[in-house]
Amino acid sequence: MEPRTIIEPFRIKSVEAVRFTTREERAAALRAAGYNLFRLRAEDVLIDLLTDSGTGAMSAAQWGAVMQGDESYAGSRSFYRFEAVVKELTGLRHVIPTHQGRAAERILFHCALKAGDIVPNNNHFDTTRANIETEDAEARDLVIPEGRVPALLHPFKGNVDLGALERLLSTEGPRVPLVMVTITNNSGGGQPVSLENLRGVRALCDRYRKPLFLDACRFAENAWFIHTREAGMGDRSPRDIAREVFALCDGCTMSAKKDGMANIGGFLALNDDALAERARNLLILTEGFPTYGGLAGYDLEAVARGLEEVTDPHYLRYRARSIEYVVDKLVAADVPVLRPAGGHAIYLDARGLWPHIPPLEYPGVALADALYLEAGVRSVEIGSLMFGMRPDGVEVPAAMELVRLAIPRRVYTQSHMDYVAEAVLSVAKGKPPRRGYRITEAPKVLRHFTARLEPLEG
Ligand code: F0G
């Protein structure tokens, strides 16, 4: 037969119970958490879609590799295995392990930026933006206009606006030390960047002599979308596509907590010898010796194995389908959702659902909190709470008010996804809140992680 059902391409060897709570318990937990889902105890969550980062299930082969970890401080065998896999995949010369993606970002930006610089990207994610702003540089988002309209269909909504990038490079080129592209574009809905667009960015980088860095956290999901959506790519394997994508760049930052299929880890990889030396020296100061970079030998083994598993077409087909499955159900019920389905998450359009709540009353927070209260599902706001505070302390609404339901890798089954869809429908079809929230306390930088809020409706 030609199967229509796309199954989970694994069997389950070990399980972890989830904990059910009552609505009253969830209401109390929300109050205690200052209505910020980051502040909940994970035990009070039934289905945790806060993030796909570090929350995946490792394979039996990865756990087996963990036992092979070489914990030598310097020159560990596990490092050389990790380095070989990253080099085979990326073709980049220097491989610098870090404890997670943001450490790679901090080291790269601290070594490569100076005050007043501009770093273009399709969309910077929160930590990337913060690590640039910490250097008194500017993180500038240049995604194509289609990438800012949730309901609009386009196969590569993560693409960089090449015209805007060229204008920036021709007018303010001296202030741009490097160009970044995030694959897939997390803050823009987990949307992919096409190979054609990446070639266009490369050509501009060549013309203006700028290094191109990828924020490569979800490179395999991006390769899958190129494989399925881009003309002429259907016959090429996701790994082959991923290798071509990496061949276009001069370096990358990577959080191995996503497409590294590990619970911790990351790396900075690059070709520039002098920059690599500066990065390694900074690494020693804050992360560790260059052959472990803040990780245990067994973590390096898990990441090495994960980077091999993640480009399996059966895995990627199931991964993309499990997200599209929920999006299809929501679209069929007219729930405003970012389309097409992204690579790692479902993004609800809170502005579209509850347009009466102004952006600076955080409609995304209202929706995420309602979903938790209704069904114990934890999501995350990607809107004006996360991105509304400029470095100069002025609050401006974010481009979109989204609620992200990020799907951990290989953790939840189809019935969990049915439950999630049912929960969203119940909230979306129920009585909307009249008002949103106000912030009662928040730090200046990355406020969404720890802010406390209160509902304006009483
Ligand atoms: N870049 C992107 C595009 C990311 O999505 C993340 C993390 C990072 C960099 C930083 O990596 O967490 O290993 O330090 N995103 C997670 C998320 C936290 O929930 O989307 P990290």
Q: Measuring CA to CA, which residue among 242, 257, 198, 357 is closest to residue 57?
A: 257
Q: Choose one of 278, 309, 340: the last residue of a domain.
A: 309
User: Based on the domain organization, do 249 and 327 belong to the same domain?
Assistant: no
The answer to whether position 1 is within a domain reads no
| Ligand 1 near 188 CB (within 6 A) | no
The answer to whether position 13 is within a domain reads no
Ligand 1 atom nearest to 256, measured from its CA: 13
User: Based on the domain organization, do 394 and 295 belong to the same domain?
Assistant: no
User: Based on the domain organization, do 226 and 151 belong to the same domain?
Assistant: yes
CATH number, domain of 223, equals 3.40.640.10
* Sole residue written with tokens 């295995």: 81
User: Based on the domain organization, do 230 and 318 belong to the same domain?
Assistant: no
Name residue 438's beta-bridge partners.
454
User: Based on the domain organization, do 70 and 47 belong to the same domain?
Assistant: no
Q: Choose one of 274, 309, 344: the last residue of a domain.
A: 309
Nearest CA to ligand 1 atom 18: 53
Q: How confident is residue 86, by pLDDT bands cut at 50, 70 and 90? A: very high
For 231-269, write each residue's pLDDT tens digit: 999 999 999 999 999 999 999 999 999 999 999 999 999
* Sole residue written with tokens 């990577």: 254
Q: Hey, CA dihedral for 238, 243, 247, 249, is it positive or negative? A: positive
The answer to whether position 76 is within a domain reads yes
For 362-403, write each residue's pLDDT tens digit: 999 999 999 999 999 999 999 999 999 888 889 999 999 999
Rounded CA gap, 376 and 179, in Å? 40
DSSP label at residue 398: -
The answer to whether position 18 is within a domain reads no
User: Based on the domain organization, do 369 and 436 belong to the same domain?
Assistant: yes
The answer to whether position 11 is within a domain reads no
pLDDT at 458: 67
User: Based on the domain organization, do 336 and 430 belong to the same domain?
Assistant: yes
| Ligand 1 near 448 CB (within 6 A) | no
| Ligand 1 near 185 CB (within 6 A) | no
Token digits of residue 383: 């809107």
| Ligand 1 mutation target, pool 127, 219, 299, most atoms within 8 A of CB | 127
Pairing of β 345-349 and β 212-215:
unpaired
DSSP label at residue 160: B
Nearest CA to ligand 1 atom 19: 51
| Ligand 1 mutation target, pool 37, 38, 217, most atoms within 8 A of CB | 217
Rounded CA gap, 38 and 249, in Å? 34
Residue 415 CA to ligand 1 centre (angstroms) = 27
SS3 of 178, please?
coil
Rounded CA gap, 122 and 154, in Å? 15
Residue 439: enclosing H or E segment and its boundaries? strand 437-441
| Ligand 1 near 257 CB (within 6 A) | yes
CATH number, domain of 326, equals 3.90.1150.10
Q: Choose one of 263, 287, 309: the last residue of a domain.
A: 309
Within a 10 A sphere around the Cβ of 457, how many other Cβ atoms? 11
Domain housing 155 = 60-309
SS3 of 270, please?
strand
Residue 40 CA to ligand 1 centre (angstroms) = 20
| Ligand 1 near 128 CB (within 6 A) | yes
Q: Are 99 and 331 in contact (CB under 8 A)?
A: no
* Torsion of Cα atoms, 61 then 67 then 68 then 73, to 10°: 130
| Ligand 1 mutation target, pool 51, 125, 141, most atoms within 8 A of CB | 125
User: Based on the domain organization, do 220 and 257 belong to the same domain?
Assistant: yes
For 31-78, write each residue's pLDDT tens digit: 999 999 999 999 999 999 999 999 999 999 999 999 999 999 999 999
SS3 of 440, please?
strand
**The pLDDT of residue 408 is above 80:** yes
User: Based on the domain organization, do 28 and 131 belong to the same domain?
Assistant: no
The answer to whether position 116 is within a domain reads yes
| Ligand 1 near 106 CB (within 6 A) | no
Q: How confident is residue 424, by pLDDT bands cut at 50, 70 and 90? A: very high
User: Based on the domain organization, do 122 and 184 belong to the same domain?
Assistant: yes
User: Based on the domain organization, do 412 and 305 belong to the same domain?
Assistant: no
pLDDT at 444: 85
Within a 10 A sphere around the Cβ of 232, how many other Cβ atoms? 8
User: Based on the domain organization, do 320 and 299 belong to the same domain?
Assistant: no
Provide the number of structural domains found in the chain: 2
Pairing of β 138-141 and β 118-121:
parallel
Rounded CA gap, 186 and 169, in Å? 24
Token digits of residue 331: 């679209």
Rounded CA gap, 404 and 360, in Å? 18
Rounded CA gap, 261 and 243, in Å? 18
The answer to whether position 2 is within a domain reads no
Whole-structure pTM over 0.75, yes or no? Answer: yes
* pLDDT, averaged across the chain: 97
| Ligand 1 near 101 CB (within 6 A) | yes
